[in-house]
């Protein structure tokens, strides 16, 4: 039997493994209303009509939705359905996608109230007024910024199921002192830390409950080295084979004391997300990004040589003023530093981000549909943009997947002198042969790599086969690689039309 609740806090996560950290903050700070509230999470892969049915089983008076760039389309459909079948329910929206009015998505027009910015205090106050029968005249509410020490922390409201099967998000600080214009954190005045002892007590409680996978959402985890070291020492005291920590770090700030601590962690226990974005000083200046490129390279080399940390480095394609040739230079420099992953992101138009001031001068053209990816710029036409989107997808399949450790050096060239050019050649060859970046089976992928190595990248057949065979054996695949490469993937005549009708690649 579903319990009736006056307030339902909800969002649509991109995948089940992700927990809605913001909802737990709202719930933690509801005060006396907490007993009348419940958190209900869904994913963007569920049908909105099914989500609506489950939400309304609680017979709520208020439903609050957290709206982000990745769920705004599905949230809009969900809210539209609620307004049709239960118009008496008050809909309250919050989150970055609805916090930068008048730049707004359509879902804002469907809602009753929108809280811009922080919601921990303002959402509770709004609910108190609505449940007492008072309605606010203003639809748009500016969220109240509370001192961090006055907030109730959300960590007790991770369930046992969350701890067992999902990522546990934590934050030791809020905000960011940097002004990189592509990021909404550029709007922050500075970074503010939570009181360290209180924070570590909460993390200790989570650890004692069995949490082992912690993802820190701090924009600048290593901003203050003494705090970073204290947190790392806390986890070193609780080190185990299944402990895994994710941090976003500033690439050009690794003081010696922090380095010494990092060397004590075993392999595969740390992941560092390092936003390089571009190595071009002119573009960095244009978008207000402060980054010492030489120090960044030095630190990346040091991390690879002296720690077992998994490095996830980010580059952005489509920044104002960038060109294909110029981006290739940044890519080649990053490849030479050998991070385990390079995430190639295509620039997206975030509502409220300062980078939008360049849209006219640099002819930035964005998709009108979420996630609002850039389609072309003054210096990059639509066709090239599509090429790099495919490049990024194939890079994920081959390089970031870790399946082709022996074959990737052949693709990039033994000397790695022109890795971008070579992988772009592979991208063009793959697209000609496969016609898609999706629904490529592993067997088909092996065959495409082999054909491209031999026919486009001038690799000897024996050398290509040897490398692919090593990766095939290492991956634990059954059967013979030769059988995979010789497999005829064409559909039989009797099934061709059926397969064509259902093809969505």
Domains with residue ranges and CATH for the chain: 7-148 (3.40.50.280), 158-380 (3.80.30.20), 403-505 (no CATH)
Encode pLDDT of 339-394 as tens digits: 999 999 999 999 999 999 999 999 999 999 999 999 999 999 999 999 999 999 99
3-state SS string for 144-175: CCCCHHHCCCCHHHCCHHHHHHCCEEECCEEE
pLDDT, residue 495, reads 40
Encode pLDDT of 235-280 as tens digits: 999 999 999 999 999 889 899 999 999 999 999 999 999 999 999 9
Residue 23 CB neighbour total at 10 angstroms: 24
Round to whole Å and give the CA distance between 144 and 29.
Answer: 13
- Three-state DSSP at 236 gives helix
Compare 188 and 351 and report the one with higher pLDDT: 351
Question: Which residue from 320, 308, 353, 334 is spatially nearest to 420, judged by alpha carbons?
Answer: 334
Encode pLDDT of 103-138 as tens digits: 999 999 999 999 999 999 999 999 999 999 998 889
Encode pLDDT of 317-343 as tens digits: 999 999 999 999 999 999 999 999 999
At 320, phi and psi to the nearest 5?
-60, 130
Q: Strand order of the sheet with strand 37-43?
A: 37-43, 7-13, 62-66, 90-94, 113-116, 140-142
Read off the pLDDT band of 487 (50, 70, 90).
Answer: low
pLDDT, residue 251, reads 87
Tell me the CA distances in angstroms from 483 to 404, 405, 445, 478, one per residue in order.
18, 21, 13, 11
pLDDT, residue 496, reads 39
Query: What is residue 44's DSSP assignment?
Result: T
Encode pLDDT of 19-76 as tens digits: 999 999 999 999 999 999 999 999 999 999 999 999 999 999 999 999 999 999 999 9
Residue 494 has pLDDT above 90, yes or no: no
Residue 486 has pLDDT above 50, yes or no: yes
Question: Do 468 and 449 meet the contact criterion of CB atoms below 8 Å apart?
Answer: yes
Averaged pLDDT score across all residues of the chain: 93
pLDDT, residue 474, reads 86
Alpha helices in 437-480 (DSSP H): 442-455, 461-474
Read off the pLDDT band of 489 (50, 70, 90).
Answer: very low
Q: Which residue has the tokens 């002819």?
A: 363
Residue 478 has pLDDT above 80, yes or no: no
Share of the chain above pLDDT 90, in %: 85
Read off the pLDDT band of 1 (50, 70, 90).
Answer: low
Residue 399 has pLDDT above 50, yes or no: yes
Question: Do 245 and 207 meet the contact criterion of CB atoms below 8 Å apart?
Answer: no
At 174, phi and psi to the nearest 5?
-125, 150
Residue 67's DSSP bridge partners are: none
Q: % helix / strand / coil in the chain, to the nearest 5?
A: 45, 15, 40
Read off the pLDDT band of 479 (50, 70, 90).
Answer: confident
Question: Do 100 and 352 meet the contact criterion of CB atoms below 8 Å apart?
Answer: yes
pLDDT, residue 490, reads 44
DSSP-assigned states of every residue in 68-126: -TTTHHHHHHHHHHHHHH-TTSEEEEESGGGSSTTS--THHHH-SEEEES--HHHHHHH
Round to whole Å and give the CA distance between 79 and 74.
Answer: 9
């Amino acid at each position: 039997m579903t319990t009736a609740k006056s307030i339902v806090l909800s969002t649509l996560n991109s995948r089940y493994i992700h927990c809605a950290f913001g909802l737990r903050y709202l719930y933690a700070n509801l005060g006396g209303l907490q007993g009348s509230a419940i958190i209900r999470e869904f994913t963007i892969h569920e049908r909105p009509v099914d989500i609506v049915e489950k939400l309304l089983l609680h017979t709520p008076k208020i439903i609050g939705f957290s709206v982000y760039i990745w769920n705004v389309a599905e949230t809009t459909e969900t809210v539209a359905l609620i307004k049709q079948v239960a118009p008496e329910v008050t809909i309250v929206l919050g989150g970055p996608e609805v916090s930068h009015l008048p730049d707004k998505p359509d879902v804002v027009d469907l809602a009753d109230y929108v809280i811009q910015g922080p919601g921990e205090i303002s959402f509770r106050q709004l609910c108190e007024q609505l449940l007492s029968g008072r309605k606010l005249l203003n639809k748009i509410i500016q969220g109240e910024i509370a001192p961090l020490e006055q907030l109730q922390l959300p960590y007790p409201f991770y369930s046992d199921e969350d701890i067992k099967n999902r990522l546990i998000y934590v934050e030791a600080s809020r905000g960011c002192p940097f002004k990189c214009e592509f990021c909404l954190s550029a709007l922050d005045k500075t970074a503010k830390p939570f009181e360290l002892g209180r924070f570590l007590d909460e993390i200790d409680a989570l650890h004692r409950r069995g949490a082992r996978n912690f993802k820190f959402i701090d924009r600048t985890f290593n901003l203050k080295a003494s705090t970073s070291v204290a947190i790392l020492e806390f986890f070193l005291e609780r080190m185990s084979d299944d402990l895994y920590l994710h941090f976003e770090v500033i690439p050009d700030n690794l003081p010696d004391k922090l380095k010494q601590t990092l060397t004590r962690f075993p392999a595969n226990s740390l992941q560092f997300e390092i936003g390089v974005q571009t190595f071009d000083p002119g573009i960095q200046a244009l978008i207000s990004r402060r980054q010492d490129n030489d120090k960044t390279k030095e630190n990346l080399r040091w991390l690879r040589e002296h720690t077992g940390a998994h490095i996830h480095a980010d580059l952005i394609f489509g920044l104002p003023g960038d060109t294909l040739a110029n981006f290739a230079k940044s890519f080649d420099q990053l490849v030479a530093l050998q991070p385990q992953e390079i995430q190639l992101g295509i620039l997206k138009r975030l509502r409220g981000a300062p980078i939008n001031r360049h849209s006219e001068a640099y002819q930035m053209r964005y998709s009108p549909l979420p996630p609002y990816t850039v389609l072309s710029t003054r210096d990059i036409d639509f066709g090239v943009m599509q090429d790099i989107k495919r490049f990024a997808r194939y890079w994920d399949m081959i390089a970031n997947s870790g399946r082709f450790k022996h074959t990737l050096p052949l693709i990039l060239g033994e000397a790695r002198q022109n890795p971008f050019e070579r992988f772009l050649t592979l991208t063009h060859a793959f697209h000609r042969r496969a016609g898609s970046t999706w629904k490529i089976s592993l067997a088909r992928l092996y065959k495409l790599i082999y054909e491209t190595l031999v026919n486009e990248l001038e690799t000897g057949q024996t050398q290509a086969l040897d490398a692919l065979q090593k990766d095939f054996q290492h991956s634990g695949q059954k059967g013979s690689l030769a059988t995979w490469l010789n497999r005829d993937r064409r559909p039989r005549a009797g099934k061709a039309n059926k397969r064509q009708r259902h093809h969505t690649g």
